[in-house]
């Protein structure tokens, strides 16, 4: 018996609210400082393990861009890299089902928490943060 095929890590799944026209979206990594700054000035949701920043780009591209930040407040290079690895693993696992095409997301590590918090708790944090960021705001 052969195992089921692995999903393509460069594609994200269809969200329940998405139409068939946007059923496949590319997942890219944010690399430029201006993109991070624009995401920082948009919607934010703090959790126990990290901060999620998200913004709608306003273009019709099916790409979803994700960035990861761990400042020197986190600790030395080993701890910063560990925090970013954990956040990248979370993004690959949780985000494909809940992200929206045309959005940028940035996960910001919290000092003393992101590296030591239980992975299941981090997963729950990301789920609730994504749902909160996409909840319609009252005007």
Taking only the tens place, the pLDDT of each residue in 84-131 is: 999 999 999 999 888 999 999 999 999 999 999 999 999 999 999 999
Domains and CATH numbers, the chain: 15-134 (3.30.230.10)
By three-state DSSP, how is residue 51 classified?
strand
Taking only the tens place, the pLDDT of each residue in 20-74 is: 334 345 668 999 999 999 999 999 999 999 999 999 998 877 889 999 999 999 9
For CA atoms 37, 38, 42, 44, give the dihedral sign.
Answer: negative
- pTM beyond 0.95, yes or no: no
For residue 60, what pLDDT is reported? Answer: 76
């Amino acid at each position: 018996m052969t195992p089921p095929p692995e999903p393509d890590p460069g594609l994200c799944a269809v969200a329940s609210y998405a139409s068939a026209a946007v059923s496949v979206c590319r997942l890219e990594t944010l690399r430029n400082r201006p993109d991070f700054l624009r995401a920082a000035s948009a919607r934010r949701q703090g959790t126990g393990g990290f901060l999620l920043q998200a913004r709608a780009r306003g273009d019709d591209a099916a790409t979803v861009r994700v960035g990861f930040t761990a400042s020197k407040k986190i600790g030395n290079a080993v701890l910063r890299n560990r925090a970013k690895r954990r956040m990248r693993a979370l993004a690959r696992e949780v985000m494909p089902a809940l992200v929206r095409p045309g959005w940028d997301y940035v996960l910001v590590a919290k000092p003393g928490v992101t590296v030591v918090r239980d992975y299941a708790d981090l997963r729950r944090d990301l789920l609730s943060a994504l749902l909160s960021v996409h909840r319609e705001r009252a005007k």
